[in-house]
Structures are given as structure tokens and as C-alpha cells.
């Protein structure tokens, strides 16, 4: 089944906690703190797999978590870093932040993309030893890794896109000019998903052609199958509009062209300016006069016209050579420019946003994710640890914000489960 959209959740690994440890060795007095740092959390990385052409794998697995870093150890031993989580996607996949709608990456090149950075490991207590604080009984906890809900959208990388109403011969054309073998039958919507074929013009010259499922009137508004796959035309450098010149379906071929062009324009106005060639198929089902009259009307609109009979590959060589000639003069396949990704500042010693509210009993309640993480590494029974907490609250601006909120000496302040009296 061809799946070209998916929503997944990813989370990078959390950094390991720093260790609280003291050197103990026979005949060594006052060995001092020797707690090691925690390991780095694993990243979540997207890579391209040429063997995948849909996003079907994400129908059943939608959560991807990288490994956490290990806690630090004794004797200043670092914790082991978490392993990287690799997610394989087909070439041409766009990665969006589902919450903000920002484009994070266009997986069209060969470079991997780090979507979520692993958290830094926390410092061990050996970092906090000073001449006045020789026995620190606290350490920094690890920093949580990035976490996102992502929307994946596949936009095929094709040089030429075949567009047109159902049953006009797009699949037949692709089957005779490439090695692709799409299903071909005499009924509408035989092609249920885009089909790619590599067309080799000469040694060293080739291009990719995509057969887009038949578009009908109203496709840009959700009618038929075409609306599901119109996104795959957006990257195409050249469009080949296949039309049934015989009118065997009871439609006017000129009206068909106008109708399809309107749907392309309604979906994306840029498509209206995309170079287009008209391929008149099923010429054997009508007379030469009708074909010549149609060709004259098409050329009057500024399009190049090629009469073909796709079923027997008649006239297809001239069409393919013209496509190759035009492609040699056109810009490369469009790649989308990612939006700037706002990375949260994860240094807990810096000023972070906190929410300060006053309860009915007069106590001031402080909340903030970074404070919740920081309190994990504070030893509330240790004087030096409490002094360090006070230093961080002052340095991060929390004390100033409490003053602005109207706190006075003797007022109760609560930081989650930790409660104290405010004294200047």
C-alpha cells in the first residue's frame, strides 16, 4: 500500500545523572569528592534508505525513543552515552513539527538529519568542590532530551510528472518508455498510487518520470484520487499532460486540458507556470483532420504538441527526446528550505521562565520544568546543597521575580514539594 503521510512521536535520550561519591582508599585521608558525570543521551536521526518508497512502515510503529545516558560512577567515571536511534525514510520526505507546522528538514540530499538532540549528562559532585565547600553532597541531574511530534510527508523526487484524466494512457506511456510496470486496464482509476520510472535517453542521460493517478474536476478540493497525490507534482520540473484526442470517453480534449490546468492552479498557483508539454494519445481512434485541428488549437495556446499512440510506442521517442532537451535547461528538482528550529535552552543555570502564583493561604508557588529537574539533584539535608540552590535561584532571576510578585520576609515559598520561608 502506498502511504505518503504519517505522524510519529520521537524522543531523544535523557542525559545521565551526575554521581555523588567520595574517594575512599586506605592510607588516603580526606580523599574528597570523585563523583563522575552522567552520559550523553542518544540522538534521534533520520537517514535516507533507497530501498523504501513509501511511509507504510510508520502505520504500525509510531513512537521512537533513543537510549538514555547512564549515571556517572565513582572515581570520576563517566556514564555511558545512549545509543543513537536511526529512523529510515524514503528520499523526498519532508519532516514537519506537528505542533508548530515548521518544516524541520527536506530529506532530498544524502545528509542525515538530527531531529532530536540527546540531553547532556549531569555533573558529578567533583565539579562542585571549592575551598569553602569541600564536601559537596549534591550533583546535577541529566538534562532531558528533545521531544517532538512530527508529521512526515513524502513528495516524490521526479523530473517529469504525467498528468491527465483517468484512462487517457498515462500508465501505458510510462510502461513503454521505462522499465516500470504499472497496472494497465480499460477502466478508471486503474492506477491507485504514483508510479516512478527511470527513462534512459542515451548513455549518461536519464530522468525520472512519475505517473500520477488520474485527476478529475474538483481534485484540488478533495474529489477523486488525484487530490491525495497532487503533492507529488510539486517537485516535478516538467509536466506532460496526456490527453485522449479521440474523445473516446465522450469528453472534449480541449476542455480536459482546461479542467486539469485549473485543478493544478487551484492546488498550487506555482504549478500553473510550470513548463508543460501536451501528449495527444489514442490518435489511432480518430482521423488525421481531427488531430491536426486539435494540434493547431494547442499550439495557439503556447504549448508544444506531440501525437502518440502509447500502446504501440508510436511517437514516444520524439516526446522523450523533447523532455530531455527541456530538462537540460531547467533548474534542478526543487528542495524546500527548512524553517529555523527553536532549540530550548537547556542550561539550568541560566534565566528560565517560571510561573509564580499565590495560593489562598498566602504562600507563593513557583513552577518551572527546569526547576523540577534541578531539584532532583539537591540534597535537602545538606547545608552546602541548600546554599547552592539559593545561589541558582538568585543567578537565574527567580528571587527577583519573587520580589516583583510582592513577596515579603517570612512569607512561605513552595517549589513543588520543597517549602521554605523567604528571608532576605
Q: Pick from 155, 171, 189: which residue ends a domain?
A: 155
Distance CA 377, CA 418 (A): 13
For residues 292 and 395, state if they share a domain. Answer: no
What are the cell numbers at 272?
A: 500553473
Range(s) of the domain holding residue 373? 355-421
Q: Judge whether 64 lies within some domain.
A: yes
**Residue 80 maps to which CATH number?**
2.70.210.12
Query: 16 is written with which cell numbers?
Result: 545521565
Percent of the chain, pLDDT > 70? Answer: 90
Does residue 33 belong to any structural domain of this protein? Answer: yes
Within a domain: 343: no
- Please state the rounded mean pLDDT for residues 159-185: 83
Query: Rounded to an integer, what distance in angstroms lies between the CA atom of residue 342 and that of residue 381?
Result: 38
Say if 371 falls within a structural domain.
yes
Q: Is the pLDDT of residue 347 over 60?
A: no
Distance of alpha carbon 126 from alpha carbon 38, whole angstroms? 12
pLDDT, one tens digit per residue, over 12-63 is 999 999 998 888 877 766 778 899 999 999 999 999 998 888 898 898 899 9
pLDDT tens-digit readout, 68-119: 999 999 888 999 999 999 999 999 999 999 998 999 999 998 899 999 999 9
Residue with cell 569553602: 132
Same domain, 130 and 258: no
Same domain, 262 and 135: no
DSSP state at residue 307: E
Of 38-42, 305-309, 368-372, 402-406, the poorest mean pLDDT is in: 368-372
Residue 366: phi, psi to the nearest 5? Answer: -110, 130
Q: Among 13-27, 73-87, 180-194, 291-305, whose mean pLDDT is lowest?
A: 180-194
Is residue 286 exposed (0-12), middle (13-18) or buried (19+ Cβ within 10 Å)? middle
- Same domain (yes/no): 2, 79: yes
Alpha-carbon dihedral 175, 179, 183, 189, rounded to 10 degrees? -60
- Distance (Å, whole) CA 38 – CA 374: 14
Q: Give the pLDDT score at 223.
A: 47
Q: What is the pLDDT of residue 78?
A: 92
SS3 296: helix
Lowest-confidence pick of 219-233, 235-249, 395-409? 219-233
Give the residue-averaged pLDDT of 120-134: 85
> Does 145 lie in the same domain as 202?
no
- Same domain membership, residue 172 and residue 140: no
How far is Cα of residue 424 from the mean position of the Cα atoms in its chain?
49
- Specify the pairing of strand 304-307 against strand 276-281: parallel
User: Domains in the chain: how many in total?
Assistant: 3
List Cα–Cα distances, 198 to 46, 124, 170, 208, 306, in angstroms: 26, 57, 15, 5, 21
Q: Are residues 188 and 288 in the same domain?
A: yes
**H or E segment to which residue 202 belongs:** strand 195-202
Residue 195 sits in a domain of what CATH number? 3.40.50.300
Q: How far apart are CA 112 and CA 177, in angstroms?
A: 33
Amino acid at each position: 500500500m502506498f502511504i505518503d503521510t504519517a505522524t510519529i512521536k520521537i524522543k531523544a535520550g535523557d542525559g545521565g545523572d551526575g554521581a555523588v561519591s567520595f574517594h575512599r582508599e586506605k592510607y588516603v585521608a580526606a580523599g574528597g569528592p570523585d563523583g563522575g558525570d552522567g552520559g550523553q543521551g542518544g540522538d534521534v536521526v533520520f537517514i535516507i534508505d533507497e530501498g523504501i518508497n513509501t511511509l507504510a512502515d510508520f502505520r504500525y510503529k509510531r513512537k521512537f525513543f533513543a537510549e538514555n545516558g547512564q549515571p556517572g560512577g565513582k572515581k570520576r567515571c563517566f556514564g555511558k552515552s545512549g545509543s543513537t536511534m536511526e529512523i529510515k525514510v524514503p528520499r523526498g520526505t519532508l519532516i514537519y513539527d506537528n505542533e508548530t507546522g515548521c518544516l524541520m528538514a527536506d530529506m532530498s540530499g544524502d545528509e542525515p538529519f538530527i531531529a532530536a538532540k540527546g540531553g547532556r549528562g549531569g555533573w558529578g559532585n567533583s565539579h562542585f568542590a571549592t575551598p569553602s565547600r569541600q564536601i559537596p553532597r549534591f550533583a546535577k541531574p541529566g538534562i532531558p532530551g528533545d521531544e517532538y511530534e512530527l508529521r512526515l510527508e513524502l513528495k516524490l523526487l521526479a523530473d517529469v510528472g504525467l498528468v491527465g484524466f483517468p484512462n487517457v494512457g498515462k500508465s501505458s506511456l510510462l510502461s513503454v518508455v521505462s522499465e516500470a510496470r504499472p497496472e494497465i486496464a480499460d477502466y478508471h482509476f486503474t492506477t491507485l498510487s504514483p508510479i516512478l520510472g527511470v527513462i534512459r535517453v542515451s548513455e549518461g542521460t536519464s530522468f525520472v518520470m512519475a505517473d500520477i493517478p488520474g485527476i478529475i474536476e474538483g481534485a484540488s478540493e478533495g474529489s477523486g484520487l488525484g487530490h491525495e497525490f497532487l503533492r507529488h507534482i510539486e517537485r516535478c520540473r516538467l509536466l506532460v499532460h496526456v490527453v485522449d484526442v479521440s474523445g473516446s470517453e465522450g469528453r472534449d480534449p480541449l476542455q480536459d486540458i482546461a479542467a486539469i490546468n485549473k485543478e493544478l492552479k487551484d492546488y498550487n498557483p506555482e504549478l500553473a507556470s510550470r513548463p508543460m508539454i501536451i501528449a495527444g494519445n489514442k490518435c489511432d481512434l480518430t482521423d488525421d483532420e481531427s488531430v491536426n485541428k486539435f494540434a493547431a488549437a494547442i499550439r495557439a495556446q503556447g504549448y508544444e504538441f506531440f501525437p502518440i499512440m502509447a500502446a504501440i510506442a508510436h511517437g514516444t521517442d520524439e516526446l522523450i527526446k523533447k523532455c530531455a532537451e527541456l530538462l537540460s535547461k531547467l533548474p534542478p528538482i526543487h528542495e524546500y528550505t527548512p524553517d529555523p528550529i527553536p532549540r530550548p535552552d537547556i542550561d539550568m543555570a541560566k534565566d528560565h521562565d517560571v510561573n509564580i502564583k499565590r495560593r489562598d493561604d498566602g504562600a507563593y508557588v513557583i513552577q518551572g520544568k527546569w526547576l523540577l529537574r534541578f531539584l532532583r539533584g539537591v540534597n535537602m539535608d545538606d547545608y552546602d546543597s541548600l546554599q547552592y540552590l539559593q545561589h541558582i535561584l538568585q543567578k537565574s532571576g527567580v528571587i527577583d521575580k519573587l520580589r516583583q510578585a510582592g513577596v515579603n520576609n517570612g512569607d512561605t515559598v513552595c517549589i513543588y514539594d520543597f517549602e521554605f520561608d523567604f528571608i532576605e
